[in-house]
Structure 1
Amino acid sequence: MPYVEASVRSRQFVAAAREVMLRDGVAATTLRAVAAEAGVPLGTLQYVFSSKEALLRAVIEDVVEEISTVLTGTVELDRGLAHAIRQGLTSFWSELVADHVKLQLMQGELLHYALRKPGQESMASWQYRRYVTVLTDWCREAAVNAGETCALSYDRLARVMLAGVDGLIVQYVCDPDEERARADLDTVIAMLIASAEIRPA
């Protein structure tokens, strides 16, 4: 077997793990199943990820990076915080929620797996801290670039944003009505912008 750098192997294994989790669910995912999906011996996978929990953390980080890429790659961050919130959440919904119910189920399962697995509770809080950090930095950058201030702290705005979108995602997963979800998302966006009380610095 030709030598492959650990960083490349890591990305391959995370991609394989995501495929297994999307298909079989997080609880049913094993290192052996991921190794089979990646087409490598179990020992090769364990050399990079010694435990299922280590692999799950890498998957969470991969999902966080995907969210960050959507928010930063599809939004003009020099047109103000209100524009960023409106455009960013709309793009996020289009690219990572609509027609991606299994991806959203996987993220929820990652959270519940950690909360129910003795000794892994910290992974759940770490998962949400990563989401909040990405949103906090993104909101701050949009406001600063446009010379604006916000009535809420950026981390509070991020937490409320996450709570609102999470709630819509749960409803969408249970009852995927796209028209209703888009209208509800517009309402959440309006509420966030109103609460932020954005003003010129």
Structure 2
Amino acid sequence: MPYVEASVRRAQLIGAARTALARDGVAGTSLRAVAAQAGVPLGTMQYVFPSKEKLLQAVIEDVVEEIAEVLQDSAELDRGLAHAIREGVRRFWSSLVAGHRGLQLMQYELTTYALRAGGQEHLARWQYERYCRVVAEWCQAAAHRAGETCAVPFGRLARVIVAGLDGLILQYVCDPDESRSREDVEAMVDMVVALAGPGRT
């Protein structure tokens, strides 16, 4: 087998794990299954990730960073807070939710796994702290660039956005009705913008 740099191999195995987890779930995914998905020997898999727990931790971190990147890249920060919220949520939904039921189901499974597995609870806490920090930062940047104020603290606004999206995503995973989901996302955005109450400084 040709030499592959450690960072490249690690990313390859995480990608294979995401595919296997989205298809088979946490319970149905083993290191052997991920090695087969990646086309590498089990020994290579175990050298990079000695345990399933280490692999799942890496997958959680990878998914969180992907979501953070989508949010950061989607935010148009020069047109005010309301516009940033609307465009950020819409692009997040179209990029990572609509048509990506397996990805979202995997995320929920990983979160509940982290909460149930002894010593892994910090991963679930870190996951949501990261989501909320990214959302708060782009909301704050959009408001400041437009010379606007926000009626509530940016941290609270971010937690409400994340909570609203979580609920809508769970409903979508249970019943992936695209049209209804888009309408519900727009309604949630309207409520969030009303809560933010952007005003001029």
TM-score, normalised via structure 2 length: 0.93
What is residue 102 of structure 1 aligned with on the other side?
A: 102
Q: CA deviation at 1:75?
A: 3.2
What is residue 126 of structure 1 aligned with on the other side?
A: 126
What is residue 44 of structure 1 aligned with on the other side?
A: 44
What is residue 83 of structure 2 aligned with on the other side?
A: 83
In the aligned structure 2, how far is the partner of 1:76 from the partner of 1:122?
A: 32
In the aligned structure 2, how far is the partner of 1:141 from the partner of 1:61?
A: 24
5+ long unaligned stretches in structure 1: none
Match status 1:64 vs 2:64: yes
Q: How many aligned residue pairs are there?
A: 201
In the aligned structure 2, how far is the partner of 1:15 from the partner of 1:191?
A: 36
Superposed CA offset, 1:8-49 (max 9, x none) = 111101100001001100222111211111111222122222
What is residue 185 of structure 1 aligned with on the other side?
A: 185
In the aligned structure 1, how far is the partner of 2:146 from the partner of 2:50?
A: 45
Q: CA deviation at 1:74?
A: 3.1
- SS of aligned partner of 1:4: coil
In the aligned structure 2, how far is the partner of 1:64 from the partner of 1:138?
A: 16
In the aligned structure 2, how far is the partner of 1:75 from the partner of 1:127?
A: 20
Identical aligned pairs, as a percentage?
64
Q: Is the 8 A contact 1:22 1:103 kept in 2?
A: yes
5+ long unaligned stretches in structure 2: none
- SS of aligned partner of 1:123: helix
- SS of aligned partner of 2:75: coil
Superposed CA offset, 1:120-174 (max 9, x none) = 2222212212211221222222222222221222111111101101111111111
TM-score, normalised via structure 1 length: 0.93
Superposed CA offset, 1:150-199 (max 9, x none) = 12221111111011011111111111222211111111101111111212
In the aligned structure 1, how far is the partner of 2:77 from the partner of 2:188?
A: 20
Code of the residue aligned with 2:200 in structure 1: it is P
Bigger shift: residues 112-121 or 93-102: 112-121
In the aligned structure 2, how far is the partner of 1:73 from the partner of 1:122?
A: 27
